[in-house]
Amino acid sequence: MLEHKQIGFIGGGAMAEALIKGMLKAGLVQPNQITVSDVVADRLSYLTNTYDISPCADAQQTAGKVDILFLTVKPQVINNVLDTIAPAVSKSTIVISIAAGVTIATLQNKLPAGIAIVRVMPNTPVAVGAGMSAISLGKYANPQTGELAAAIFASVGRVVTVEESVMDAVTGLSGSGPAYAFVLIDALTDAGVRVGFSRQNALLLAAQTLYGAAKMVLDTGEHPAKLRDMVTSPGGTAIAGVHMLEQKGVRAALIDAVVAATNRSREMGKRQHE
């Protein structure tokens, strides 16, 4: 699918590195197909030495010679980047943006008319190949473009295609979700210490338990409530713990957290376009 395609990254940060690593590991591309542009020379040297890819200090030059262009920069600088690269981007180039809060319309207004644009919201576990990415297609992106983008992000986790209108909700759930999970792991670790474990063992027990529970949901396809019922035997320990979670409002707190993060994402997006 990506054979003979030249791929460029504007921005060589952690997300770009995760995608480069994932694509290479999955055999989707070879190092000589990838060019990265970044303003930090040391970062370019690191990526070049680590992955044997091609560095390029000139973003416009990178944009002008690739078939697939990733915009892996912070949203605060995206407008300047678009102004810089727009004259060089070919109409046949596929542009994939992970800049949070930057709409497809914003990208289309800055880039050549008719260009295929894909907006993606990945989360930080892409760094360990276990990310969750949501993809939205611009009006000039065809189904084949979507399949190509999905294949790339599947190399670093799982992928779902959504309407752009729910991207703020994606940010609130999966984009911010790792933070909620880290809070839960940290709290369970403290609980483990409280009942007598060393912190090292408590952390391992907590993290592996959440990892295993998530894997059961994904691998079996069963509803979480059904899997919970398999653990909670009558009058047992698990149901006593679940009862306490419900009593303390943990479920409602998590729902409220996702709603709050979604609303915050909407607010930030509005400010960006003012």
**pLDDT tens track for 52-68:** 999 999 999 999 999 99
Mean pLDDT of 186-202: 98
Asked if the structure places residue 38 within a domain, the reply is yes
Task: Please check if 132 is assigned to a binding site.
Answer: no
Do 157 and 67 lie in a common domain? yes
Do 163 and 195 lie in a common domain? no
Task: Please check if 11 is assigned to a binding site.
Answer: yes
Task: Please check if 8 is assigned to a binding site.
Answer: no
Task: Please tell me the pTM assigned to this model.
Answer: 0.91
Task: Please check if 221 is assigned to a binding site.
Answer: no
Do 84 and 204 lie in a common domain? no
| pLDDT band (50, 70, 90) for residue 140 | very high
Task: Please check if 15 is assigned to a binding site.
Answer: yes
User: Over pLDDT 70: what percentage of the chain?
Assistant: 99
Mean model confidence pLDDT for the chain = 95
Mean pLDDT of 229-246: 96
CB atoms within 10 A of CB 42: 8
Mean pLDDT of 97-117: 93
Contacts of the segment 223-231: beta carbons below 8 A, 24+ positions apart: none
Q: Does residue 5 sit in helix, strand or coil?
A: coil
Q: What is the pLDDT of residue 273?
A: 61
CB contact at 8 A, 47 and 56: no
Task: Please check if 236 is assigned to a binding site.
Answer: no
pLDDT tens for each residue of 19-36: 999 999 999 999 999 999
Do 122 and 240 lie in a common domain? no
Do 46 and 69 lie in a common domain? yes
Q: Does residue 123 sit in helix, strand or coil?
A: coil
CATH of the domain at 194: 1.10.3730.10
Asked if the structure places residue 1 within a domain, the reply is no
Q: Does residue 49 sit in helix, strand or coil?
A: helix
Q: Which of 170, 204, 233 is the last residue of a domain?
A: 170
> Among 57, 225, 117, which residue's Cα sits nearest to residue 48?
57
- In whole angstroms, give the CA distance from residue 264 to residue 94: 30
Q: Domain range spanning residue 46?
A: 7-170
Do 264 and 157 lie in a common domain? no
Asked if the structure places residue 199 within a domain, the reply is yes
- At position 107, the amino acid (one-letter code) is L
Instruction: Say how many domains are in the chain.
Output: 2
Do 120 and 249 lie in a common domain? no
Do 99 and 122 lie in a common domain? yes
Q: Which of 145, 170, 195 is the last residue of a domain?
A: 170
| pLDDT band (50, 70, 90) for residue 1 | confident
Q: Are strands 131-137 and 116-121 parallel, antiparallel or unpaired?
A: antiparallel
Q: Does residue 112 sit in helix, strand or coil?
A: coil
